Amino acid sequence: MTGFPDHDEAAALCARAQGRRAELVDLCADLVAAPSVNPPGDTREVAEVVAGALRAAGLRPRLERRVDTMPSVLAEVDSGRPGRHLVLNVHLDTMPPGDESAWSVPVWRLTSREGRLHGLGMGNMKGAVAAMVHAVRLLAEERARWSGRVTFTAVSDEVVFGDNGAAFLLRTHPELVADGLLCGEGPGFRRLALGEKGVLWLAVTATGEPGHSSAVRAGASASARLAAAVQRIDALTGSVGRLPAELAEVSGSAGLDTGLELTANVGTMTAGSFVGQIATTARAEVDLRLPPGIDLTGAEEAVRRVVADIPTVEVRRLKGWDANWTAPDTDLVRAWRAAAHEIGAGEPRYAIRLPASDASRWRRAGVPALCYGPQPTLSAGIDDYAEEDEVVRCVSLYALAALHFLAGAAR
């Protein structure tokens, strides 16, 4: 085996990715046309699109599921020689479109406009799904040039942090705890995410004495007590974490979007049963995103502290995990840097992702993991899109970074 890729070989691989642009856009169209909104999270149709594209390339994908309606797609490419194991990870489910009447393009049909590919999930993250499918194809074609193996995982149930996608696969396939992971979940603005914020979901409840609305006392209803609690929790937004030393090294002039502010979003609130009665129960669900330097215990204690003097208010943890990151001096980061230079992108701009991704699950298992994708901004929204050129570019980035990592050629 020879080291791969050198400059000419990298240029040739990029040219092949460019030559498949039309095929890549067609795959994006098929992915957008396959609804996979979560909830309910039905990924059967989109999983078949991905599996079909892999089969057409001569690969042997398989569908695995914990729940019948939520299959994930796995495919392996083995070089036949011992070496590193790299996982390429994307997710199949998408966020809901919101108010479809606010869209200027069809939600479920790919629209090409001024270099942008619009359609639900193109930014998060069907553009990355298409790019990674084509990257896996290139890796299979070049398997004589590298050692080890690649596993492609296109998972369900990611956007709600569910247990039916990556969590299920990691539990049933311990071999997926590999030597490295590239995730197509982009932090936006062509940045490379070394890590991401942690997540803490809390249920906050309050109770009140029953009675007719005319007998209410100020601050005594469940809704009033919950409202007071919510205002205090909301005020925690802006609390600042602390950057670890290994990330501080890359936070200078090159820039690291540190994501060091805690955010506390009150996602749901319910209270009472009738306007003429005192509300006896109230509940809110709160989503806190935790920067490095603010851990689960500290964040939950802060919430409990600010609501401690409000009668009947209780706080219960629903789920959560701490912020995590990959050190910038790992072989995986060096492999990505080499790939970025080869396509003319220069040094990566690093970030800590504000939302969470399945890469966090692998990092918690000790696997170095990076996130990059064609999502253009921080998060998807109305008229969701990815730039066509960036989707094509991601094919080359994923394939070249993988080749450097697997060939041991990163410098």
What is the pTM assigned to this prediction? 0.91
Q: Do domains 7-196+323-407 and 198-321 have the same CATH topology?
A: no
Closest CA to 121 of 192, 23, 27: 27
DSSP codes of every residue in 236-258: TTT-B----HHHHTT-STT-EE-
- Report the chain's mean pLDDT, rounded to a whole number: 93
DSSP codes of every residue in 114-156: TTEEESTTIIIIIHHHHHHHHHHHHHHHTGGG--SEEEEEEES
Closest CA to 152 of 78, 69, 45: 78
Residue 299 has pLDDT above 60, yes or no: yes
Residue 340 has pLDDT above 80, yes or no: yes
- Gap between the Cα atoms of 385 and 383, Å rounded: 6
Specify whether the CB–CB gap between 238 and 289 falls below 8 A. no
Give residue 408's pLDDT: 66
- Gap between the Cα atoms of 83 and 85, Å rounded: 7
Give residue 170's pLDDT: 97
Q: Which regions of 323-372 does DSSP assign to beta strands (E)? A: 324-325, 350-353, 369-371
pLDDT band at 4 (very low <50, low <70, confident <90, very high): low
Share of the chain above pLDDT 70, in %: 96
pLDDT band at 258 (very low <50, low <70, confident <90, very high): low
pLDDT band at 248 (very low <50, low <70, confident <90, very high): confident
What mean pLDDT do residues 253-268 have?
75
Give residue 255's pLDDT: 44
For the chain, domain boundaries: 7-196+323-407, 198-321
The residue assigned the tokens 């029953």 is: 210
Topology of 198-321 in CATH?
A: Alpha-Beta Plaits (3.30.70)
Specify whether the CB–CB gap between 312 and 206 falls below 8 A. yes
Specify whether the CB–CB gap between 149 and 163 falls below 8 A. no
Architecture of domain 7-196+323-407: 3-Layer(aba) Sandwich (3.40)
Question: Which one-letter amino acid corresponds to residue 58?
Answer: G
